[in-house]
Amino acid sequence: GEDVEQSLFLSVREGDSSVINCTYTDSSSTYLYWYKQEPGAGLQLLTYIFSNMDMKQDQRLTVLLNKKDKHLSLRIADTQTGDSAIYFCAEKTDSWGKLQFGAGTQVVVTP
Amino acid sequence: DGGITQSPKYLFRKEGQNVTLSCEQNLNHDAMYWYRQDPGQGLRLIYYSQIVNDFQKGDIAEGYSVSREKKESFPLTVTSAQKNPTAFYLCASSLGTSADTQYFGPGTRLTVL
């Protein structure tokens, strides 16, 4: 079955780049997503990438997709304290829209 | 302002009681979803609805029920049959096409006393 894995924790200094990694197992994934969750809040869509793309850049965010290794990463440039949150990777495998989520990576930004 | 609203934000219930969580969207989305989130885990799909008057079970539907009588509304009832209902519940909606993305509400934290 499908499985999405992420490292659980990342600590980064303010101003540095953060890289959050994700691996998935379903080669039929069509879209892959990154969501951000702040404490006590819902999920905010950050960005997504279509499976036939290798890279997508959106301001401070860069998504890299390696389909051969089923590896997805999110790079946040110039990380700020407001970037402290839990980041979820998710893959869409069914045509109607079902998402499979990873357990989330807690990112802590230190001054 | 377009978006998804969930109410209440915090909900307490006694064991053995049913409770209903509200989810409303004004995005004109066809599809709506309910997820459950437990600490240190990803989101798990409870129920989803692709169109009015139709809904399907997700991965953990036991002990839950839903209805979809209106496009804008997708309430979730947590029944007394749900063995461990304390969790954070998230509602989402999407256009319902193959290329769409899901947008989430702010969530309801349910605590069983």
B27 touching A, CB under 8 A? Answer: no
* Residue A30 near residue B97, CB atoms below 8 Å: no
The alpha carbon of residue B65 and the mean position of all alpha carbons in its chain are separated, in whole angstroms, by: 10
* Residue A31 near chain B (CB below 8 Å): yes
Q: Give dist(CA A89, CA A102) in Å, integer.
A: 5
Question: SS3 sequence, B11-74?
Answer: EEECCCCCEEEEEEECCCCCEEEEEEECCCCCEEEEEEEEECCEEEECCCCCCEEECCCECCEC
Nearest to B104 by CA among B22, B28, B3: B3
* pLDDT per residue rounded down to tens, chain B (113 residues): 569 999 999 999 998 899 999 999 999 999 999 999 998 788 999 999 999 999 999 999 999 999 999 999 999 999 998 889 999 999 999 987 766 789 999 999 999 98
pLDDT of amino acid B101? 86
Q: Helix or strand or coil: residue A82?
A: helix
What is the percent of chain A with per-residue pLDDT over 70, rounded to a whole number?
95
Nearest CA in chain A to B41: A103
Min Cα separation B12/chain A (Å): 16
pLDDT at position B64 is 97
Q: What is the pLDDT of residue A98?
A: 79
Beta strands in chain A (DSSP E): 4-6, 9-13, 18-24, 31-37, 43-50, 55-58, 61-66, 71-76, 85-92, 99-101, 105-110
CA–CA distance from B95 to each of A65, A85, A96, B32 (Å)? 25, 27, 10, 9
Q: Establish if A108 touches chain B: CB-CB under 8 angstroms.
A: no
Question: What is the DSSP-derived secondary structure letter of residue B27?
Answer: S
Cα–Cα distances (Å) from B39 to A69, A86, B72, in that order, read 29, 11, 29
pLDDT of residue A1: 44
Distance from CA of B107 to the nearest CA of A (A): 5
Average pLDDT taken over every residue of chain B: 92
Whether the CB-CB separation of B75 and B9 falls below 8 Å is answered with no
| Angle, vertex CA B92, rays to CA B55 and CA A3, nearest 5 | 85
Are the beta carbons of B104 and A30 separated by less than 8 Å?
Answer: no
Find out whether the peptide bond into B39 is cis, omega within 30 degrees of 0.
no
Q: pLDDT tens, A62-106?
A: 999 999 999 999 999 999 999 999 999 999 877 666 788 999 999
Residues of B in contact with A4 (CB under 8 A): 42
Record the tokens describing residue A61, joined without a space. 């965010």
Return the pLDDT at B1: 58
- Determine contact: B74 vs chain A, CB below 8 A: no
